[in-house]
Amino acid sequence: MSSRITCEVGATAPVAVVRLAGELDLNTMRSVHHALEEALAGEPDALVVDLDGVTVRDRLALSVFAATARRAEEWPAVPVVLCAPRPTAARWLAESTTCRVVPVRPDCAEATRAAGAASAPRLRARLEPVAEACRRARELVVDACARWNLPEVAGPASVVLSELVGNVVRHAGTPMQVTVTLRRPYLHLAVVDGSQEAAQPAGLDLRAEGGRGLLLVRELTQRWGSVPAGRGKAVWAMLPAA
C-alpha cells in the first residue's frame, strides 16, 4: 500500500479484521480499496475495518468504505462494519451517506460482534472441473433451499448455478469453490475459479443446457457479474428470495 497508509489483515474467526494506519485522502483511498478487496477475496463471513489509526484528510475519501460495502453485498455477500473512527472522521461519517450503507461501532470488539451477528447462512463446496460438478452444484442449491425454506427458489437457482459451474468446467478448467448464501432479500450464488480471465456475457456458453445458458442467467437473476478474486475470479448471481 501507499507509504502514507498501511494495513494489517487479521481475523477473529470467522470475521476478517483490517486495521488501517496513516492518512486517508483521495490519493491513498485507492490503496485502501485494493486492500479491502483482497480481504474480501478470502470470503470471510464478515469484514471489520478498524479506523483507530487513521487520520482522514479528505472527507470524500470516506466513500471508499461505502463502495466496499456495496461490492461486498454482491460478492461475497457479507456485511462490512467500521469501528473506532477518530472524532473528525466520526463526524464526517455521520454527516455522509456512508453510515447509511456501513454501520459504525465505537471499538473493534463491538464491531466484530455486530459483524458476526449480521453474517448470513451459507453452504460451500469444493468442486473439480468435471461434468459431475454441475450435478453436485444443483444438489447444493436444493439442500440450501430446503434448509432455508425456499422451495420456490430451488429450481431457478439450480439452473443458474449449474450454468456458472458448467462455464468453469468448459472454459477455466480449474478447481472451484461454490457458495450459496442467504442474505435477504436475495439468494446469492458464487463460483470462484483459478482463471484470471474475466467472465464476460459472451463468455458464458449459449449452447449450455440445451441453448439456455446466458439467456436463463439473465432472466432468472436480479443481477450477476464477475470480479477478481485472489489469483482467479468470482462469478456471482443474485436471485430474489422473497
Distance CA 125, CA 176 (A): 8
Cα distance between residue 174 and residue 128, in whole Å: 7
Q: What is the pLDDT of residue 214?
A: 67
Residue 126 shares a structural domain with residue 235: yes
Omega before residue 14 within 30° of 0, cis: yes
- The answer to whether 202 and 147 have CB atoms below 8 angstroms apart is no
DSSP assigned state of 124: E
Residue 184 confidence (pLDDT) above 90: yes
- SS3 at position 60: helix
Of 80, 98, 118, at which residue does a domain stop? 118
The verdict on 80 and 180 lying in the same domain is no
- In a shared domain, residues 226 and 210: yes
What are the pLDDT digits (tens) for 109-138? 999 999 999 999 999 999 999 999 999 999
Q: Do 220 and 130 reside in the same domain of the chain?
A: yes
Check residue 1 and give its pLDDT.
Answer: 52
Rg for the chain (alpha carbons), in Å? Answer: 19
Domain boundary among 84, 118, 152: 118
Q: Are residues 225 and 142 in the same domain?
A: yes
Q: Average pLDDT in the 220-225 region?
A: 92
Q: What pLDDT is stored for residue 92 in this prediction? A: 96
**Count of domains for the chain:** 2
187 and 173 inside one domain: yes
pLDDT confidence bin for 72, thresholds 50/70/90: very high
Are 187 and 199 within one domain? yes
Helices of type H across the chain = 29-41, 63-74, 87-95, 98-101, 108-118, 132-147, 151-167, 208-211, 213-220
Q: Are residues 97 and 166 in the same domain?
A: no
> 202-216 pLDDT, tens per residue?
445 545 444 456 677
> Is there a single domain that holds both residue 197 and residue 100?
no
Same domain as 221, residue 128: yes
CATH number, domain with residue 207: 3.30.565.10
Q: Which domain holds residue 26?
A: 5-118
- Residue 104 and residue 208 in one domain: no
Domain end marker among 89, 118, 147 = 118
Alpha-carbon distance of 180 to 207, in angstroms, equals 25
pLDDT tens for 32-69 read 999 999 999 989 999 999 999 999 999 999 999 999 99
Residue 218 has pLDDT above 90, yes or no: no
Residues 107, 167, single domain; the answer is no
For residue 71, what is the domain's CATH number? 3.30.750.24
